[in-house]
Amino acid sequence: MIKFKSKTENYKSPRADRGFFPSPYVVAISAKVNPAIPQLIAEFRTVYEVDGNVIEIESSQKVFDATYIPTTILNESDAPEEILAFLTRGGQYNEERIAEWGQPDFNRAIQYFIPESIWTGLTLAETPFKQLAIDWIKNVIKVEGVFLKVNFEFEVEQ
C-alpha cells in the first residue's frame, strides 16, 4: 500500500483552528477502476491513531482519465522535455530537474499504480519509473492545502 508518514512526531496543521496531530500518515485507501470510461479514482486519506483508533484528518481523490498533462524535465540542454521520452532515450531521472509536474492519463497511471481492489487501495508497480511515481505523488497530492512533500515522506513498503 502507498503510505507517506509525517516528517515530525507532532504534525502541526496549517489550519489555525486544528492544532497538532500525533504521527499522522497518508495512505491510498481505495482504487476504483472503470476501464470502459477509462478512469481510475484513487482516494488518499490522512489519518492518525489514538489508542488503536484511526481518526481521519482529511481525505481527497485523484482522478486519472483521458486527460494527459505531460510532466517535463530539463534535459541536458536545459530545455523542457516530456519525462518518459527523456527517460526512454537514456536520460537520468533527477527530481530536482523536473520543470513541471503534469497529470498521467488512465493508461499511464495503471502502469505506475496497481489498484489492488476498491477496498485496499493502491500499490506502486515495480518498474523503472517507481521513483517518478513516488515523487509525482509528493509534488501533486495535497494535505490540508499543502503539497505532501512539505510535511510527509514516503514510507518504504514492507
User: What pLDDT is stored for residue 16 in this prediction?
Assistant: 83
* Residue 74, all three cell numbers: 530539463
pLDDT band (50, 70, 90) for residue 158: low
pTM over 0.85: yes
52-111: per-residue pLDDT in tens?
Answer: 999 999 999 999 999 999 999 999 999 999 999 999 999 999 999 999 999 999 999 988
Q: Are 129 and 110 in contact (CB under 8 A)?
A: no
Distance CA 152, CA 124 (A): 17
Looking at residue 117, its pLDDT comes to 61
The 10s digit of each residue's pLDDT in 99-148 is 999 999 999 998 888 877 655 678 888 988 899 999 999 999 999 999 99
* Pair 11, 23: CB distance under 8 Å: yes
SS3 of residue 66 by DSSP = coil
Burial of 17 (0-12, 13-18, 19+ CB in 10 A): exposed
- Give the other-Cβ count within 10 Å of 26's Cβ: 27
